[in-house]
Amino acid sequence: MSHYFETPTGPVSTRRITARIWDRDLAFTTAGGVFSGTRLDLGTSVLFRSVPPPAQAGTFLDLGCGYGPIACALALACPDARVVAVDVNDLAVRLTARNARDLGVADRVEASRPEEVAGELRFDEIWSNPPIRVGKEILHEMLTGWLGRLTPDGVAHLVVGRNLGADSLARWLAERDWRVERVASAKGFRVLDVRRP
């Protein structure tokens, strides 16, 4: 399992990066020990370029939030939205909360560990560059649990590397009656929209 799924121990050295997301230049504090801590990763960039921000307010989930670029961008693009950002890495949770504060959206971004999210909460949209490298069993369990929390008309936007099994994941979801649409393919990534059966 890659190191960014575990909370790093010892001193943390932070850095500032800037990423262009939906026509805005956003500054983030990142650190080693979280996913893509030196830049906005290519997969998430493809996701932002392929899927426009939500057209209306709702409750959105950033699944595997890292330092929070998706959560913060959603909150900035949708001023009335509620954004829940989850990660198993405590440093990622802290960085997401810090970046939400710095970007002025801390009142609408809730960063936490997955088990801290209220079980009855449902999501209009899920956004994720899912942690494929955790292995199929963990990944499938994670997606099954969170996709099951979509509202009846909800949609999940997932970006997955083609060489990391994007097409097999799409088939696996379809075999379980999820409606899967490939909405983009770029830079070696697939962007999948997933809806309830």
Please give the pLDDT value at position 57: 94
Contacts of 42 (CB under 8 A, 6+ apart): 187, 188, 189
Q: How much is the average pLDDT of 102-126?
A: 98
Average pLDDT of the residues of the chain = 93
3 pLDDT above the threshold of 70:
no
Q: What percent of the chain has pLDDT over 90?
A: 85
Contacts of 53 (CB under 8 A, 6+ apart): 22, 73, 74, 77, 78
Q: Which domain holds residue 59?
A: 3-195
Please give the pLDDT value at position 6: 57
CATH number at residue 159: 3.40.50.150
Q: With contact defined as beta carbons under 8 Å apart, do 180 and 193 qualify?
A: yes
- For the segment 20-69, what is each residue's pLDDT rounded down to a tens digit? 999 999 999 999 889 888 899 999 999 999 999 999 999 999 999 999 99
How many domains, the chain? 1
pLDDT-derived band at 11 (thresholds 50, 70, 90) equals low
- For the segment 115-162, what is each residue's pLDDT rounded down to a tens digit? 999 999 999 999 999 988 888 999 999 999 999 999 999 999 999 999
